[in-house]
Amino acid sequence: MVTNPAGPGDAQSPPSGTAAVQRPDIWDYARRIEAGFPLGEVSLPKHLQELQAESIHIMREVASEFSNPALLYSIGKDSSVMLHLAMMAFWPSKPPFKLMHIATGWDFNDMIVHRDELCTALGLTLFVESNDEATARGLTPFNTDSREWARLMLIDTLKAGMDKHGFDAALGGGRRDEEKSRAKERIFSVRGPGQVWDPRSQRPELWSLFNGRLAKGESMRVFPLSNWTELDIWEYIRLCNIPVVPLYFAKPRPVVDRDGLLLVVDDDRMVYRDGEVAADRLVRFRTLGDWPLSGCMDSPAATLEAIIEEMMTSRVSERQGRMVDKDEAASMEKKKREGYF
């Protein structure tokens, strides 16, 4: 039985002055799942039904073809949908995947609160992997080049976590509409020794058939949300009442404008440049990462409906606020070749 001894958490509470805003509560969500997942109660449009069915099929293929698969849980909106689909795919059992989060120590506090509360409410096992050696050396996003930071804290930590736990496959929430290199990657993306990706060695995927065979030293990255769009994700979150991190919703937050990137000051480790002063602005995030490297956007969208309306008119990539994606030409593809998701 799912109970919340502390009562409903306040991580999902609406900002002051917006009492009418209703957002999914984590513990209510867990009780709905335990009670039978209202599998037939959510009326989805046809295209979302098809995407949902495809993603569930992919997850079941992973469970049947691999001996020790993991689900990479990055706490964002895509991970939230992916975890929801995994809970559906294997209900009433728990998903046969270990959850793994690559934590740098610079995640937004709201993200960590959400992660811990959700995993507790759903009764899921979570592995948190970090590069403690780099942290002990005093490396931070403020004194380290963004490319080196991504390599040490994300790529190397992910590869080490895969090796440490012996995972032969990992599910990730990447979508093809996000970025050029992801657009050309297969759903079942084989990684060679060292977990590197060679775009020239991709396997054909005909109809809904996937080749999960691995040679010695190989592993698989799997993307169940490949064919979803950002708008699909938000529509699904709204219709299925899936809880997400409150950072996605507009709220007055302390912001520093740094070279055109709006940075939210999340804690007292902020390193200010000369002349910089944090000022409250009504902002929200489209994509989440380390808070010193993730830009927010001016927006009044404080509800799921408002976010969806905003998405319908947006002509800017959601990843334009990610500093680690813009540090050099073809940045994402280079990171993926090195072992990034």
SS3 assignment for the chain: CCCCCCCCCCCCCCCCCCCCCCCCCHHHHHHHHHCCCCCCCCCCCHHHHHHHHHHHHHHHHHHHHCCCEEEECCCCHHHHHHHHHHHHHHCCCCCCCEEEEECCCCECHHHHHHHHHHHHHHCCCEEEECCHHHHHCCCCCCCCCHHHHHHHHHHHHHHHHHHHHCCCEEECCCCCCCCHHHHCCCCEEEECHHHCCCHHHCCCCCCCCCCCCCCCCCEEEECCCCCCCHHHHHHHHHHHCCCCCHHHCCEEEEEEEECCEEEECCCCCCCCCCCCCCEEEEEECCCCCEHHHEEEEECCCCCHHHHHHHHHHCCCCHHHHEHHHCCCCCHHHHHHHHCCC
Per-residue pLDDT of the chain (341 residues; tens, 9 = 90+): 555 544 433 334 443 443 344 577 999 999 999 887 655 567 899 999 999 999 999 999 999 999 999 999 999 999 999 999 999 999 999 999 999 999 999 999 999 999 999 999 999 999 999 999 999 999 999 999 989 999 999 999 999 999 999 999 999 999 988 876 666 788 998 888 887 877 777 888 788 888 889 889 889 999 999 999 999 999 999 999 999 999 999 999 999 999 889 999 999 999 999 999 999 999 999 999 999 999 999 999 999 999 999 999 877 766 565 555 555 545 666 666 665 66
**pTM (two decimals):** 0.88
Where are the CATH 3.40.50.620 domain residues in the chain? 26-231
Instruction: Indicate the CATH number for domain 26-231.
Output: 3.40.50.620
